[in-house]
Structure 1
């Protein structure tokens, strides 16, 4: 859905999204299909800059302004009647899904690194994945970590090295093009708007609210800017004696191919540990076919070496080897 995407190409993209989201978010699937068949809505989207036409951003902006439309007719009426405000919201915001449940997959990789740890997350959004030591976990029903409102449940297969204790984190630093402030009501509302409506919506929203409350008690240091440009500034904040860990989850698809390659090369050249949870092949060497057959997945890697396949929003880890 780039700069060359006219209405017809955009319709194809929305139809594809409709098919892909049918199981997880039937309402969004139906709304995307309605957009794909409506030339006026497609023209509204085509007039937006490249990178601002994706269904996730469009639908989140609608939800942010007035809730999830009940059907295609309501969606159309709201776009027509509130086009200016909707356009302004889309231009001002980004898709910044900040799912703390991904920490359940990240934790085994972090536990393999000697501490204390200074976490430097690129594409951090509000930084909710910078608190793996503050959340509680259940791996196959076995509890780990402190009691509290954030409880991340995860099923596993294979020899997942679940740690006996949580890592020591001494610094939480994030980089994002537009960092979100968990103490700001509008930013928290935007985070909530990014959660898809569907069978696990209530669970995800409750988890998001609880994790945001944890972060608000001890906010991370968040730097605004491009991940490649601001990485040196972020690493300069790492305290002496800490192990710097560059961390990112589901970020690289939003980075152009050239800058993505430059980022990977930069990280590999630095004296840091590198934990990534990305789509297959986003990190070179992680594109091996996955025979698991349970739908979309991310690949967890440490220093470029694939460790596990994980569910996109947490909840499952299949360890390799």
Structure 2
């Protein structure tokens, strides 16, 4: 998932229109001119807003509707043509929206997590056991299988490749870095990887793979290519993915991690899908896990990325204007960096 998948918005009527307008004017520009135009068009289309209002609140988010249309074959086009496509396929769009979720599995986020993962491995003097919450198809569980290009501007580029991997056999994750980012000299060793998702996606299932591709924004072919490369790696090394509520499954799954590995529990754009009570319970669960089995906790979340029905927000540690659609990365509740939602940038604090 990503912060742009759940731009601020709440309630009914004007609230839903504001949600789409925010996505079209704040989140999408610079990343997808098509999604920007479509979302602004939806925001100014009262009849379409009324249709969207028929869905449950958590199903009205812009990217879910747009991805459903793309999954069904909507091409890049001016808004009137997109509106005609929706009219012709509305029943199917609704079916996809109600049966699917925004499970964007952006491997690029590994670039913003890697410095923290390498620091943890170095400090612990042990290999890592990775446990991702909201894992989708588990593609972010392979940071040791990807290549990286950290760009500090000018000629300051640091390239890290996985040992022994053939050129072209792995995605290269490019990330613009600012501040004293602790770029590692190499990749940490990972000996165990697992994830939890309400509905895990299977990289061997054609429909699930098509849905992952539909969640990528129309013009971003480079993301589509690295998704395909990451899927190839996951097919060769299937991770352990458990279906269920993260608050129910976390401790039991963590108990399966090797005792001689440093356990890292991490998530990106997952907290918006929990209400205030669920997030409070999650904090208690992680605290109990840390004091018992022991773990590190990496939280990579946006600020108020989706206004909950109860009015609660997600991250309170950083001013929203500074984030502006980006994530705040925390290590054991301490803010360490501001990150691009798709892993494209890393600003160390």
Summarize the Cα distance change of 1:160–1:8 in structure 2 as closer, same or farther, 3 Å threshold: closer
Contact 1:285–1:305 under 8 Å retained in 2:
no
Contact 2:9–2:15 under 8 Å retained in 1:
no
For residues 180-220 of structure 1, give each alpha carbon's deviation from its aligned partner in whole angstroms, at most 9, with x where no partner exists. Answer: 1111111111111111123xx01111111111111111111
1:272 to 295, 300, 307: 295
Aligned counterpart, 1:46: 53
Aligned counterpart, 1:305: 334
User: 1:309: how far off?
Assistant: 1.4
Aligned counterpart, 2:201: 180
Unaligned runs of 5+ in 2: 1-5, 152-156, 305-312
Contact 2:74–2:85 under 8 Å retained in 1:
no
- Higher mean Cα deviation, 279-288 or 118-127? 279-288
Higher relative contact order (CA 8 A, sep 6+): 2
Number of residue pairs aligned between Structure 1 and Structure 2: 316
For residues 59-103 of structure 1, give each alpha carbon's deviation from its aligned partner in whole angstroms, at most 9, with x where no partner exists. Answer: 000000113351332223222222222111111100111111111
Contact 2:9–2:18 under 8 Å retained in 1:
no
1:257 to 270, 276, 289: 276
Summarize the Cα distance change of 1:288–1:207 in structure 2 as closer, same or farther, 3 Å threshold: same
Unaligned runs of 5+ in 1: none
User: 1:53: how far off?
Assistant: 0.9
Distance in 2 of aligned mates of 1:273 and 1:220 = 20
Distance in 1 of aligned mates of 2:243 and 2:19 = 30
Contact 1:136–1:152 under 8 Å retained in 2:
yes
Aligned counterpart, 1:224: 243
Contact 1:278–1:298 under 8 Å retained in 2:
yes
Summarize the Cα distance change of 1:4–1:106 in structure 2 as closer, same or farther, 3 Å threshold: closer
Distance in 1 of aligned mates of 2:64 and 2:102 = 6
Contact 1:133–1:168 under 8 Å retained in 2:
yes
- Higher mean Cα deviation, 165-174 or 53-62? 165-174
For residues 216-272 of structure 1, give each alpha carbon's deviation from its aligned partner in whole angstroms, at most 9, with x where no partner exists. Answer: 111111111111111123213212322221011121122212211221222122121
Aligned counterpart, 1:143: 159
2:128 to 117, 122, 128: 117
Aligned counterpart, 2:318: 287
Normalising to structure 1: TM-score of the pair?
0.91
User: 1:3: how far off?
Assistant: 11
Q: What CA RMSD, in Å, does the superposition of the two structures yield over aligned residues?
A: 2.3
Normalising to structure 2: TM-score of the pair?
0.84
Summarize the Cα distance change of 1:8–1:155 in structure 2 as closer, same or farther, 3 Å threshold: closer
Contact 1:3–1:49 under 8 Å retained in 2:
no
Aligned counterpart, 1:208: 227
User: 1:107: how far off?
Assistant: 0.7
1:95 to 80, 90, 102: 102
Distance in 1 of aligned mates of 2:273 and 2:119 = 28
Aligned counterpart, 1:233: 252
Matched, 1:82 2:83: no
Distance in 2 of aligned mates of 1:26 and 1:154 = 22
1:18 to 24, 27, 36: 24
Distance in 1 of aligned mates of 2:9 and 2:158 = 49
Tell me which stretches of 4 or more aligned residues in structure 1 moved more than 4 Å.
1-4, 280-285, 288-291
Matched, 1:152 2:163: no
Distance in 1 of aligned mates of 2:250 and 2:241 = 11
